[in-house]
Amino acid sequence: MLLKVGEAKKISLKFKCKNNEGLKDSFHGKTIYWAPPPDAPNRNKKKFLNNLITISLMIKGAFVFSLFLDPFCEVKHGCSFAIVEDLCCNKDRIGKVSFEHCPKGFKVNIGACQNECSELRCGDIPIKFPFRLKDKQPDHCGYPGFDLSCNGSNNTVLELPISVKFTVTDINYRSQVIQVVDPDGCVPRQLHKLNPSASAFQFKGDYQSDYTLFNCSPADRNLYHQIPCLSETSHQMLAIDSDSSIDAFPISSCTKLYNLPRVPYGILFKSEHVRLEWFKPACKHCERKGRKCRLKNNNHTESETECFKVGKQGVILGSFSFVVALVSLHRLYTSDRKQTMIEEFLENYRALKPTRYSYADIKRITNTFRDKLGQGTFGTVYKGKLSNEIFVAVKILNNSKGNGEEFINEVGTLGRIHYVNVVRLVGYCADGFRRALVYEFAPNGSLQNFITSADSNNHFLGWEKLQYIALSVAKGIEYLHNGCDQRILHFDIKPHNVLLDENFNPKISDFGLSKLCANDQSAVSLTTARGTMGYIAPEVFSRNFGNVSYKSDVYSFGMLLLEMVGGRKNVQVTEANSSQVYFPEWIYNLLDQGEDIRIHVEQEIDAKIAKKLAIVGLWCIQWYPVDRPSMKAVVQMLEGEDNVKMPPNPFSSTASTRDNVTMPAKRPRQELPVISELD
């Protein structure tokens, strides 16, 4: 088969090993191509290169020239040429070829090269559609407004209207985000020149505000709103967001400069990388299908895109080489698939990662704190709404309480958890002295609201729903103990910290007292007792009961179960007997004597559920941690049959009599202040 002028075909050439005279074979039976040994005369090398150029001139198009080793070539003193990289050659250009010894021979593959719009690199940045590299690729290789350039330092440069130049540090084609920095390290210096309406990109980030910039004298010190890279000893540059009152800032000697619309907080005050996203062209669907994206019909003016399949490489001669190629292709496919999975995971994690909001964002989200949901020890909770119409709960932390440990615990713990029965931390605010936490909204409030209204059927969820809630909370705690890279101890499990969504699915919340430890760590140290009175395990108060560990959460969960059971009482509590008997002990005595708990039940199955919850709860509140089950065992008991055996009597040393007429009141609950640890 002869190759006609102007044709471009995939051609495979096989060079066979001879001896140290060189490697020979024929091209279409007419022309001999030589790959001489390194010590051969230069004229032979020149002849080889000239013939290679002849090939490119014959094809009149682009082709790939690549090397494959042939293990069947057993000549000890054979030689070959080595190619540093695949050669994309055309009639005007030829790649570099060097020579080296190759005892096992080699094969050469000439196949169709990717076209002029193939992926290029500038430094570590891969450049492909919708971007193009100016001066090296024609216009139709990129989407309008996506031109990049490669400077003398091998840095990729993005130019935005008008005359704003950033250095590119990363491009995520799957999420359609490009990350850039200012070459001089001061992004705010260029922002006033930026024309967002004329750009193909938008700032990525939820905490964006309109800002007004002021040039102020050093006397009007306001470090919180100062732009560091624009401020000097002789003056300071302030940025005040549109949601703030200018009257609250000392700007009497300031000069207003200009306005900046919709700028992320971190760009102005923290010199963070700028993340820009593009929505058009939308090539995500092509990437997900393993295809590439390009302009339709290579038309740079219409800006319409299409997906296309990636072309295959040329054929490799030889049975062994074919097998090697199949193995390589399989590895490549597996690697690409893993990379795709990793990229999807990172993108999903980015979507779930807590967002940092400014205080102006918090005010906007809560509509200036209009809808108050509740008040707690560490702060006030308000209802809010994000820009995507999703409702959230915003806790404004009280600066007079604690030393910021609750804030650090919440962000550090919830930021790494994504579990169905654990409340999700949507974002947080650390804006100067102002701190806030933004959670997913639970419209049905806390479990506390549904287990304390003893005499009202209006709020009764039903025993099957209570059993479902108990099991879900148990699974959530078990996940905290065993499902993360570090064990998370909550230390404040109680009904008030179990939130219910619109379908009454429980969410464990309030990780302000939580503590991280290694999964194999059997005990943790506490400098102070922590938790809510009535739910705190004995060992948290006194080490005489054992070490503080994950079993402390088991105790708190047991008290929660007993309150779920006892909260549905239908008998009158009298002041005379309310403090005579400890409530869990009263429950134990009833069950131990085979009597009914005398709670609100309508069917036999309800009584079985209530009894099961009570028995599991009693297992969990054993005085000594070693006698309590793990949360994994608790889940198994709740999921198993109803005939859970009674635990040992934890109250045997405090023999007390049971009142046959009335139910004892539950011990009063109160928030536990800081208490010195007991030795």
Q: Are 180 and 169 in contact (CB under 8 A)?
A: yes
Q: Are 44 and 34 in contact (CB under 8 A)?
A: yes
- Interior/surface letters 449-458, b for 16+ CB within 10 angstroms, e for the rest: ebbeebeeee
* Cα distance between residue 412 and residue 215, in whole Å: 37
Residue 301 tokens, joined: 């003016």
Q: Are 20 and 78 in contact (CB under 8 A)?
A: yes
Helix (H, G, I), strand (E, B) or coil at 335: helix
Q: Are 369 and 383 in contact (CB under 8 A)?
A: no
- Beta 132-133 vs 147-150: how paired, if at all? parallel
Q: Are 506 and 445 in contact (CB under 8 A)?
A: no
Distances (CA, A) of 190 to 160, 194, 273, 347, 370: 10, 7, 14, 29, 37
The sign of the dihedral angle between the CA atoms of 596, 602, 603, 608 is negative
* Cα distance between residue 495 and residue 477, in whole Å: 13
Residue 331 tokens, joined: 């590895």
- Residue ranges of the binding site: 395
To the nearest 10 degrees (0 to 180), the angle between helices 604-620 and 583-592 is: 120
Helix (H) or strand (E) holding 634: helix 631-639
492 is catalytic: yes
Using alpha carbons, select from 334, 328, 426, 439 the residue that is nearest to residue 379.
439
Alpha helices in 415-550 (DSSP H): 448-451, 463-482, 538-541
- Residue ranges of the binding site for ATP: 395
Phi (first) and psi of residue 247, to 5 degrees: -65, -20
- DSSP state letter for 384: E
Distances (CA, A) of 334 to 311, 312, 468: 18, 17, 41
- DSSP state letter for 309: P
Residue 118 tokens, joined: 């193939």
* Cα distance between residue 170 and residue 230, in whole Å: 26
To the nearest 10 degrees (0 to 180), the angle between helices 463-482 and 604-620 is: 30
Strands (E), 327-446: 355-357, 372-375, 379-385, 391-397, 425-431, 434-440
CB atoms within 10 A of CB 28: 11
* Cα distance between residue 269 and residue 230, in whole Å: 10
Phi (first) and psi of residue 354, to 5 degrees: -60, 140
The catalytically annotated residue of 70, 241, 492, 606 is 492
Q: Are 143 and 306 in contact (CB under 8 A)?
A: no
Using alpha carbons, select from 666, 656, 654, 661 the residue that is nearest to residue 579.
666
Active site residues: 492
